[in-house]
Structures are given as C-alpha cells and as structure tokens.
Homo-oligomer: A and B are copies of this chain.
Amino acid sequence: MNTKIRNFGPCKIESPAAYEYYTADESKVVFKTVFETEESWKQYIGEGAEFFEQAGPRKKIYFDPKEVTAGIVTCGGLCPGINDVIRGIVMELNYRYGVKRILGFPYGYQGLVKKFDHKPMELNPENVAHIGRDGGTILASSRGNQNASDMVDRLSLYGVKMLFCIGGDGTLRGAKEIVNEIDRRGEEISVIGVPKTIDNDINYVQKTFGFSTAFSKAMEAVECAHVEAKGAPNGIGVVKLMGRHSGFIAVNAALASQNVNYCLIPEVDFDLKGKGSFLDVLKKRIQTREHAVIIVAEGAGQKFFGKTEERDASGNLKLGDIGVYLKNSIQEFFKAEKIEVNVKYIDPSYIIRSIPANPEDSIFCGFLAQNAVHAGMAGKTDLVIGMWNNVFTHLPIDIAIQERKVLQPTKSTLWRTLLASTGQPAHMVAE
C-alpha cells in the first residue's frame, strides 16, 4: 500500500498560523496496532510496517497566503456536518493563515462548470459563523461528476490555488480526475478531499463525519418502531436505514436502541424462505413473543433483485428497495401462514441525513476542516483527510476510493456484540 503523499515542492514559507507547535512533516501513524502474539508483531515490524502520514499544521508552508484563492465544493447527498466543515475551512484559512478570498461553488461540481451559470459565493467568517446550526449545506449540492477540463478551466479563471472537495466516493473519483487534469496542464492547484459518507464506509478511514449524528438519530426511529410493535397484536416494526454497502449505521442504531431483534446488513447473507431462513426465525418469535423489531440496511438482501447495471447520477448502482420488499414479504408470508400481524414500516432517510451535526460530529468536522487547510497550505494534493488510531492522517485519494470499508462479520467485535444484543442467529440462510 503506497501511502506516500504528493507535494508540489519544498515548503519554504514560514507559516503565519502562529501555533505554539507544529506537526513534523515526517510524522507518521503506525497502521497495525493489535497483535495476537508477540511473534506476529515482530514479523510485522520485520517486514517494515506501514504508516500513514500524520495531518496537522506545518511550520513551513508552500503557498503564500496572500496569493491564495481557495475554493470549496460540496457534492452528493446531504450528511450532517457539511456546514461545520465549510465553516471550519473558512475560519482556519481566514484567521490563521490570512487567506481572504474563499469561494464557495454552489450545487456541487455543477458550480465548477460554466454552462450551469451558478455564481460562486464569497465566504467569510461573518457569513459562515453560525451555519453549523443548520443541516444541509449552504453551498447546496448536486449529484454526478462533470467534465474535468471544464472544471479546471473555471478554477483557473477564478485563480483558485486550492480546492476543497467535500463528498463521497463518487466525488473523490471526480476529484481524482481534476487532479489528473491539473497535472496534465502542469498547474499547481491543491485538491484536498474531505470524505463525506453517512455510511462511514471509506477505506482506511476510521470514521467519517455525520456518522455519529446519523446513527443517533436513526435510533429514534428504531424506538418508534419498537413502540409500534408493542402497541398492536403481533406488531412488527421494520426500519430501513442507510448503508448501501455496509451495516455500520444499522448495527450502531441497533446497539444504541437495545430493542432490536433482527438487524439485516449487506455484509451478511440471509434467505427469506425455507427452514432457518429469516422469515422462519421471525415466525417463531412472533408465536412466542408477539412482537418484533427489525432493522434492514438499504444495501442488504440485494440478491432478491435481478442484476442491474442502472446507476444514479452519482454513479452508484441502483439498489432494489429492500425495505418495501421485506415489508411485503413479511405480510405475504404471515398471510399464507394465517397469522395476523401488524407491520409498521418506517423509512426515515431524509429525516436523518438533513439534521445538523451533534456536538461530537461538530467538533470532529472542525478538526477535519483545519487539517484540510493545513494540507492545502503545505502544497499537498491528491489526498483526503482521514483518521487512523484517532490521529488525523493524509490518505492518497487512490487508497480512499479503491474499495469500501465493510463490517467483517467473522472478525468484527461490532458484529459480535450485535449478535449478543439482538439474540438473532448468526446465520439465517435456509438449510
């Protein structure tokens, strides 16, 4: 794994940030920290170990703040905390480095393309001071990438020296194309990604902003499902939560609620028919306990839908709607079994993703933003701000997008605990 970070050149300018101490440019975070035996540790060390570059303010920087115009763009679906990140970038650029011209390009990558004719917004400490109280993004967003050449044209037109791209997997792929186009032209524009995915599934990034807020809010919907399930004869509450490829939100919401009986996630296979299948297991519970609460992540059970190559504007494969499918399957199954059940289905998606960040996330966003600015000022590029072993890191974009982080059911303490909490069988596939 090549974790080396690109830099436009040696940093020669004394940082005006006036911090009491700076992060050494070579500072590194060890990748692997847990070892089953001393031997495995020695072997890891012997083979050289792997490190991520530590993020933080550098004593010497590359760009002259007086000459810097910075750009910010927010892409993809909403996620709690985007405004906190915008705020943090503006505050750090302005107050610490003295960068006075900061442009917010509206509506995601559309804002970087002339034909859409979206006027950039001048950002300053006054107009971003309180935006963190609002959900969403003051810059608005859009899905999908745009032509890299068009976008670099506009960056050049506005004299942007560093671009902060707040977005997910698709956005980072777009950012990579921008990097490539900048390289092709031999220009020096830093491209710094702040990974945004409510699903918390960025590769080699310990956690992403908005995730804490998201599963905390999701828990409320789960509690409602529990109340509904208990409130009617054979009540069954079904909550669909985010998680296209991973069950992080689903599992954390289940653990926080402690009232969930089944949690279905993309990483764990399950069947709906036959002995030992999910519906078979559910039937036994209904017959004995007379209610059940189910969380299903949106990416779970995709095998029940035909293969598709359809993609949304962000380039994500279109998923079958497992929530509705599951709800219908449950109703049909119990009808066939002649057991009257009351299924209450909750899909809280927008109610979760559009709220403001909680204090935990809000602080986290502030750190991400500051480190993004430090990286940009130091002339680094082609990276995202990550976190590893609780230390903020620089991660090459390529590594961040090469694959997604998922729960590994047979190795994850999170999943182990989920099984203990729900009491659900580890396997719900038909015999």
Measured CB to CB, the residues of A under 8 A from B are 19-21, 24, 26-30, 33-38, 41, 45, 49, 51, 54, 56-57, 78, 87, 91-92, 95-96, 107, 110, 129, 132-137, 140-142, 206, 212, 215-216, 219-221, 223-225, 227-228, 230-233, 235, 237, 252-253, 255-256, 258, 344-348, 350-351, 354-355, 358-360, 362-363, 366-367, 370, 389-392, 409-411, 413, 416-417, 419-421, 423, 426
Residues from chain B with a CB closer than 8 A to the CB of A426 are: 20
Listed residue (A56, A57, A135) with the most chain B CB atoms within 10 angstroms of its CB: A135
Contact (A350, B360) CB under 8 Å given A416-B19, A417-B367, A417-B370? no
Partner of A33, one of B140, B389, B392: B389
Is the Cβ of A351 less than 8 Å from the Cβ of B140?
no
Cα of A221 to Cα of B227 in the assembled complex, Å: 19
Listed residue (A132, A134, A225) with the most chain B CB atoms within 10 angstroms of its CB: A134
Residues from chain B with a CB closer than 8 A to the CB of A227 are: 78, 134-136, 354-355
Listed residue (A45, A54, A360, A409) with the most chain B CB atoms within 10 angstroms of its CB: A360
How many copies of this kind of chain does the complex include?
4
Is the Cβ of A29 less than 8 Å from the Cβ of B37?
no
Listed residue (A27, A223, A233, A391) with the most chain B CB atoms within 10 angstroms of its CB: A233
Residue of B with least CB distance to A31:
B33
Is the Cβ of B30 less than 8 Å from the Cβ of A41?
yes
Cα of A78 to Cα of B346 in the assembled complex, Å: 15
Is the Cβ of B360 less than 8 Å from the Cβ of A216?
yes
Residues from chain B with a CB closer than 8 A to the CB of A91 are: 420-421
Chain A contact residues: helix, strand, loop or mixed: mixed
Is the Cβ of A255 less than 8 Å from the Cβ of B224?
no
Residue of B with least CB distance to A55:
B413
Residues from chain B with a CB closer than 8 A to the CB of A30 are: 30, 33-35, 41
Residues from chain B with a CB closer than 8 A to the CB of A27 are: 34-37
Residues from chain B with a CB closer than 8 A to the CB of A41 are: 28, 30, 49
Contact (A224, B26) CB under 8 Å given A33-B33, A255-B366, A420-B95? no
Is the Cβ of B390 less than 8 Å from the Cβ of A231?
no
Nearest-neighbour CB distance to chain B for A114, whole angstroms, equals 16
Is the Cβ of A390 less than 8 Å from the Cβ of B225?
no
Cα of A103 to Cα of B34 in the assembled complex, Å: 35
Is the Cβ of B366 less than 8 Å from the Cβ of A417?
yes
Is the Cβ of B95 less than 8 Å from the Cβ of A20?
no
Is the Cβ of B206 less than 8 Å from the Cβ of A255?
no
Is the Cβ of A359 less than 8 Å from the Cβ of B206?
no
Nearest-neighbour CB distance to chain B for A284, whole angstroms, equals 17
Nearest 3 pairs between A and B by C-beta? A256-B359, A136-B227, A216-B359
Residue of B with least CB distance to A206:
B390
Is the Cβ of B351 less than 8 Å from the Cβ of A232?
no
Q: List 19 A-B contacts (CB under 8 A).
A: A20-B419, A20-B426, A26-B36, A27-B34, A27-B36, A27-B37, A33-B33, A33-B389, A34-B54, A78-B227, A78-B228, A78-B231, A140-B231, A142-B232, A216-B360, A231-B354, A255-B366, A344-B350, A348-B348
Is the Cβ of A351 less than 8 Å from the Cβ of B224?
yes
Nearest-neighbour CB distance to chain B for A288, whole angstroms, equals 15
Is the Cβ of B38 less than 8 Å from the Cβ of A26?
yes
Cα of A316 to Cα of B231 in the assembled complex, Å: 19
Residue of B with least CB distance to A413:
B56
Residues from chain B with a CB closer than 8 A to the CB of A87 are: 258
Nearest-neighbour CB distance to chain B for A153, whole angstroms, equals 21
Residue of B with least CB distance to A363:
B255
Is the Cβ of B252 less than 8 Å from the Cβ of A135?
no
Is the Cβ of A421 less than 8 Å from the Cβ of B366?
yes
